[in-house]
Amino acid sequence: MKTGRILRREEIEQVWNIDRSEVIENIYHFESGTLVLRPDHHDVPGLPPGEAEKYTPILLDCFDRGGWFYGAFDQAKLIGIVVLESKWIGKHKDQLQLKSLHVSSAYRNRGLGTQLFELAKTTARERGAKRLYISATPSENTVNFYIRLGCAVAGEPDPDLFELEPEDIHLECDA
């Protein structure tokens, strides 16, 4: 990681400057209790239209509730972010959601995503969480990233998060 630190509220909108472009070759589907990988080639040129307007208030609400926002920087440029929700979820209310994890395209495959993820796990554990919950974009790279880090398909997807993102792959891991 170049440098990293806790983000201030007024810096949250910088998350939309992270280059989220990628080429997706395959996506996962969850069918009959199994992950199934299917071809689905498309280019993601970056931020979908309207996403910043839709998600900025959600991130600000998360911050105001005590969510944890950590940024990775290359000099003054935000190149990665990880966000941990503060609301307890799960059957035993012992899980925290990894709300967001993004690394700019030019900085991927260098270990930065792993560092941010491990930092979020440590922070979740320090906050008393037993497990981390991830609602992951179903792209092959994203799901394989989390599986490599020890995550597994959630035994019982959080009903509210599943309703919000039914196409996502819902994962969890020990904090």
| Closest by CA position to 133, among listed 87, 80, 65, 102 | 87
- Per-domain boundaries in the chain: 3-174
Q: Give per-residue pLDDT as tens, 12-42.
A: 999 999 999 999 999 999 988 899 999 999 9
According to the model, what pLDDT value does residue 154 have? Answer: 95
| Model confidence at 54: pLDDT above 70 | yes
- Model pTM score: 0.95
| Model confidence at 1: pLDDT above 90 | no
Q: Give per-residue pLDDT as tens, 74-108.
A: 999 999 999 999 999 999 999 999 999 999 999 99
* Mean pLDDT of all residues in 129-144: 97
CATH 3.40.50.720 is held by the domain 3-174: no
Say if residues 46 and 20 touch (Cβ distance below 8 Å): yes
Per DSSP, the three-state class of 175 is coil
The token duo for 123 is: 């922070």
Say if residues 147 and 103 touch (Cβ distance below 8 Å): no
User: Chain-wide mean pLDDT for the chain?
Assistant: 95
Q: Which CA distances in Å does 23 have to 41, 50, 57, 100, 123?
A: 7, 20, 28, 20, 31
